[in-house]
Structure 1
Amino acid sequence: MPPLRTHHSLEKTMLLCLSVDHRTADLELLERIERRAETVTAALSDDTARGVVVLATCNRFEAYVDAPDHRPEPALEALARAAQLTPAELTGTFAVHHGDAAAEHLFAVSSGLESAAVGEGEIAGQVRRALETARAAGHTSTDLEQLFQHAMTVSKEVKNRTGLQTRGRSLVQLALTLVDARVADWTTARVVLIGTGAYAGASLAALRVRGADNIAVFSPSGRAEAFAASHDLRPLSDDDLVTELRAADVVVACSSTNEPVLTREHLRGTTRPRVLIDMGLPRNISPDVGEESGIELLDLETIALHAPIPELGAELEARDIVRTAAAEFAALRAERDVVPAVRDMRAFITEVLDDEIARLRGRNADNADEIEAALRHAFGRVMHRPTVRLRALARAGAATEASAAVTALFSPDPLHP
């Protein structure tokens, strides 16, 4: 396995993130992996993991893995086999995040800080749907559930405290901004929308903000009628599509298909100027469509090149929120590591306490209830300080040493019954 960019943490953990995005891989490689997303998920679930959540968006592919050991190699090898990637194709493209670093990375991703258009709003919904999809397929684990739930909370905090997602522009909005100069009047422009999913909804909203009203929708999966009815659009059948495309001024394609929806055959026969925006990954529009006369094709690579620089203050504040949240998440996980030791200590003291209470009641003491209440109150006070101290030691990175000391004192010892 070739060397990969690796981000470690000192905490003992099972979490790994295998990540490739628009900054390290071209669109063609991202497409190839995206087409095999289900195969990759199955391979990681079967071969290397207690749980897997795959986050696949228009400019990134990430697998969050609850692995049985701390080495990324088994997961990477399973991913490479399933995605049909060579070792050379992994070099310099996939990053591996371990433990605390995996959590911090996901928090940044879900907050829009790692997107091509920093601050994009769609990514939070994509993170939520990634968890829901994994949950429905039975691929999640307790650790992954906690990780993704935390990520969604952090995303909301970043949005509410910094306003970054209102300052930043989504890729849909950015693409339409690039097209504005080519559309004389959005209110009269003929638009074809391909797709009916979440990205189609965002695209439609951005089009209507510009005044676009003459919009027809086509769905490769046959959902155009229902989407059109709920959004006041014109649905297109397979027979209508070619005619509508040749009359369109703008086409926005954002369908989740594995093969191109539009080819050169759909658009031949006219030289009138048209702008085609391909938001799909894999591509919705065959790249050679751009060779047709009068057609300008904008794909994700072109759009990402024009991604804006966000307001610096908002981004810096957002990154501070992410770092703080990641540190707190790591501390909570560390605290969980000392739970068995606390349980051993509590069990030992409870056993002694119960024996003494039973002995007391065996004497038929008149005030047995009062004495028992006092003893149990004292038990709570005795347990409080060492429990708090153990959690503090865990947060300070000494969970292993503290647990070992408590376990040595209080766990059952078969050599000294």
Structure 2
Amino acid sequence: MLLCLSFDHRGCSFPLLERLTARTPEITEALTASNDLDGVVVLSTCNRFEVYAQAGRDTSEAMVELISQVAGVPVSSLSMAVDVELDHRAAEHLFAVASGLKSAVVGEEEIAGQVRRAHVDARERGTVTHHLERLFQTATRTSRTVKHRTEIHSQGRSLVRLALRLAESRVPVWQDARVLLIGTGAYAGATIAALRSRGAERISVHSPSGRAAAYAERHDLTPVDPAELRSALDAADVIIACSRTEEPLLTEADFAPLEPGATATTGISRPVSPRLLIDLGMPRNIDPAVTRIDGIELLDLETVARHAPVTELGTEHEALEIVHDAAVEFGASQAERDTLPVLLALRGHVNAILEDELCRARRAGDDEDDATAADVEAALRRLTGRLLHAPTTRIRSLGREGRASEASEALSALFGLESAERS
């Protein structure tokens, strides 16, 4: 059975989502160690926390309880916020997520890469079953199909671009704006591209993990080392934080006026210009308390999500049709695979009879030349293949229709055989 537990921006408060995201490593480890689950993939992004699992039964309640214990969140709060999808609906949900159809900004481009990274991470941990592997490979293919066949991504809509669009009223001339980027992860690249498309030229970068210099060289930015961070914060007009962290990187203390007569580097007190802070992190990169300081305005993910535009209904409908068709085909393909034990039992039975007859023919045909014996064997094998073709096709067809049990019953009634259960 395939299960999906989904906590996202639509039914889950941002503080709760932030709590789950912050405990992603611990939750992943706990779910991986669970004896109830055969495989687990955890998808944690700025707008959602989701668990995809394979199990022999519906273990969603036990999974919610386990997440509750690890995250320190009441079970009642999680139960009210979670959406649980099973089997076909779980697959369709993932395909829609990977295609950007469930994002706060519909058509978001970054989500497909985040889904792929979740898949790769689970694969490296050894928690991906064959079924989950096929599920996530299909999700990636589906997102590409949606991208190529619809215009859902062509508008260039993403959380980064929407955040910058909301910031335009505060930044009238991007060419003159001094921008400080905090973080060098996946969102950083999208942020740089979006900034430059608006004409921003004065972009510097600070990396909490110490990668600023190498990243700045690759992207033609100005690096900011830790000793220069306070001065860079004071000088920036726009500060964009998009790093992965469990605790806020920037707090009220980082922006509070320094003591008279001293600054971070020069020792000279000077006024600080108004600053716009954009927090694209989940969990938060910037403590909301910074807004208590005069001249600071904060734009966070919750605000961005509230301003997400209404989608073009025609384009979204076309994308949803692609997702639905992909989910139907995935389910039918999986159902067809469920008939494999029946096919193996049938082919094993028939091939055993064939080998018995060939052995008998070889013993009885000692006087025949090798060419004649080979022709007889080839003819019998061709005959066996042709006889098996029709029932094989029919059994697979029954499987795609969800009638694998009928194929198994027919095998038992006609040949007295029982198909082995798949592991």
Question: Partners in 2 of 1:332 and 1:27 — Cα distance?
Answer: 37
User: What is the CA-CA distance between 1:167 and the residue it aligns to?
Assistant: 2.3
Question: Partners in 1 of 2:278 and 2:51 — Cα distance?
Answer: 28
Higher mean C-alpha displacement, 133-142 vs 28-37: 133-142
Question: Partners in 1 of 2:155 and 2:80 — Cα distance?
Answer: 31
- Give the alignment partner of residue 181 of structure 2, picking from 164, 174, 193: 193
- Give the alignment partner of residue 222 of structure 2, picking from 234, 254, 268: 234
Unaligned runs of 5+ in 1: 1-13
User: What is the CA-CA distance between 1:61 and the residue it aligns to?
Assistant: 0.3
Higher mean C-alpha displacement, 46-55 vs 121-130: 46-55
Question: Partners in 2 of 1:347 and 1:144 — Cα distance?
Answer: 28
Q: Contact (CA 8 Å) 1:118, 1:168: kept in 2 or not?
A: no
Q: Contact (CA 8 Å) 2:18, 2:283: kept in 1 or not?
A: yes
Determine if the alignment matches structure 1 residue 371 to structure 2 residue 345: no
User: What is the CA-CA distance between 1:404 and the residue it aligns to?
Assistant: 3.0
Q: Which position in structure 1 is the counterpart of 2:395?
A: 390
Change (3 A) 1:407 1:291: farther
Give the structure-1-normalised TM-score: 0.93
User: What is the CA-CA distance between 1:273 and the residue it aligns to?
Assistant: 1.6
Question: Partners in 1 of 2:201 and 2:6 — Cα distance?
Answer: 39
Q: Which position in structure 2 is the counterpart of 1:5?
A: none
Q: Which position in structure 2 is the counterpart of 1:42?
A: 29
User: What is the CA-CA distance between 1:136 and the residue it aligns to?
Assistant: 1.4
Change (3 A) 1:260 1:214: same
Q: Counterpart of 2:172 in 1: which secondary structure?
A: coil
Q: Which position in structure 1 is the counterpart of 2:328?
A: 327
User: What is the CA-CA distance between 1:205 and the residue it aligns to?
Assistant: 0.7
Determine if the alignment matches structure 1 residue 82 to structure 2 residue 70: yes
Q: Which position in structure 2 is the counterpart of 1:27?
A: 14
Determine if the alignment matches structure 1 residue 256 to structure 2 residue 244: yes
Q: Contact (CA 8 Å) 1:246, 1:267: kept in 2 or not?
A: yes
Higher mean C-alpha displacement, 280-289 vs 165-174: 165-174
| 1:317-365 C-alpha deviation (Å, 9 max, x unpaired) | 0000000000000001001111001100001100111111111111224
- Residues 57-96 of structure 1: pairs in structure 2 closer than 5 A: 57-96=45-84
Change (3 A) 1:78 1:409: farther
AA in 2 matched with 1:380: G
RMSD of aligned residue pairs (Cα, Å): 1.3
Q: Counterpart of 1:50 in 2: which secondary structure?
A: strand
Q: Counterpart of 1:58 in 2: which secondary structure?
A: coil
| 1:265-320 C-alpha deviation (Å, 9 max, x unpaired) | 11122552211100000000001112211111011110000001122111100000
Change (3 A) 1:407 1:165: farther
Question: Partners in 2 of 1:390 and 1:77 — Cα distance?
Answer: 41
Runs of 4+ in 1 over 6 A off after TM superposition: none
User: What is the CA-CA distance between 1:410 and the residue it aligns to?
Assistant: 3.9
Question: Partners in 2 of 1:290 and 1:226 — Cα distance?
Answer: 32
Q: Contact (CA 8 Å) 2:3, 2:85: kept in 1 or not?
A: yes
Question: Partners in 2 of 1:352 and 1:99 — Cα distance?
Answer: 39
- Residues 287-298 of structure 1: pairs in structure 2 closer than 5 A: 287-298=288-299
Q: Which position in structure 1 is the counterpart of 2:421?
A: none
User: What is the CA-CA distance between 1:411 and the residue it aligns to?
Assistant: 6.0
Question: Partners in 2 of 1:271 and 1:291 — Cα distance?
Answer: 15
Between the aligned residues of both structures, percent identity stands at: 52
User: What is the CA-CA distance between 1:162 and the residue it aligns to?
Assistant: 0.3
Q: Which position in structure 1 is the counterpart of 2:89?
A: 101
| 1:116-156 C-alpha deviation (Å, 9 max, x unpaired) | 00001000000000011111122211111111000000000
Q: Contact (CA 8 Å) 1:271, 1:293: kept in 2 or not?
A: no
Q: Contact (CA 8 Å) 2:411, 2:417: kept in 1 or not?
A: no
Give the structure-2-normalised TM-score: 0.92
Question: Partners in 2 of 1:396 and 1:166 — Cα distance?
Answer: 37
Q: Which position in structure 2 is the counterpart of 1:4?
A: none
Question: Partners in 2 of 1:170 and 1:393 — Cα distance?
Answer: 43
Q: Which position in structure 2 is the counterpart of 1:51?
A: 39
Work out the number of aligned pairs and report it: 400
